[in-house]
């Protein structure tokens, strides 16, 4: 949508979505990562650990999984009562990638791609 929500304070505006689809729909832009961590923020990555992928801060290695998960559920419950026609997810995003977010091994090598936290929560709820 052009909102500056990326970790570096930038955006990834998709003109097809904002200009073409925007003629037919009203959008409510939001980003679970921005809601949880603010903008700008340290970049995060998905790291496969014990039971499931964890959200790990690239800068200091902190595990931010629970914080992002809590904020994602809170936001989904907020919008659950709104008459939505759909949700557009951002590909490759650590929180909103649908089948496209890279999951890394603890040694830093890429392992696979999958749905990510907010997408999985939307499917679950």
- What global pTM score does this model have? 0.80
Any domain includes 8: no
Domain that residue 75 falls in: 42-124
Any domain includes 46: yes
Kindly tell me the burial class for residue 72, based on how many C-beta atoms sit within 10 Å of its own C-beta (0-12, 13-18, 19 or more).
buried
Tens-place pLDDT, residues 37-73 = 988 988 899 999 887 889 999 999 999 999 999 999 9
Tens-place pLDDT, residues 87-113 = 888 888 888 889 888 899 988 898 888
If DSSP states are collapsed to H, E and C, what string results for 74-96?
A: HHHHHHHCCCCCCCCCCCCCCCC
Query: What is the number of structural domains in the chain?
Result: 1
Which residue from 14, 53, 11 is spatially nearest to 34, judged by alpha carbons? Answer: 11
Any domain includes 116: yes
Any domain includes 90: yes
Any domain includes 71: yes
């Amino acid at each position: 949508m052009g909102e500056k929500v990326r970790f570096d304070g930038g955006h990834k505006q998709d003109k097809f979505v904002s200009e073409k689809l925007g003629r037919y729909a009203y959008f409510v832009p939001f980003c679970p990562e921005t809601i949880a961590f603010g903008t700008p923020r340290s970049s995060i990555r998905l790291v496969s650990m014990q039971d499931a992928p964890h959200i790990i801060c690239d800068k200091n290695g902190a595990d931010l999984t629970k914080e992002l998960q809590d904020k994602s559920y809170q936001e989904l419950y907020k919008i659950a009562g709104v008459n939505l026609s759909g949700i557009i997810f951002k590909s490759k995003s650590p929180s909103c990638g649908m089948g496209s977010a890279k999951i890394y091994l603890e040694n830093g090598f890429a392992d696979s791609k999958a749905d990510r936290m907010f997408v999985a929560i939307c499917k679950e709820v």
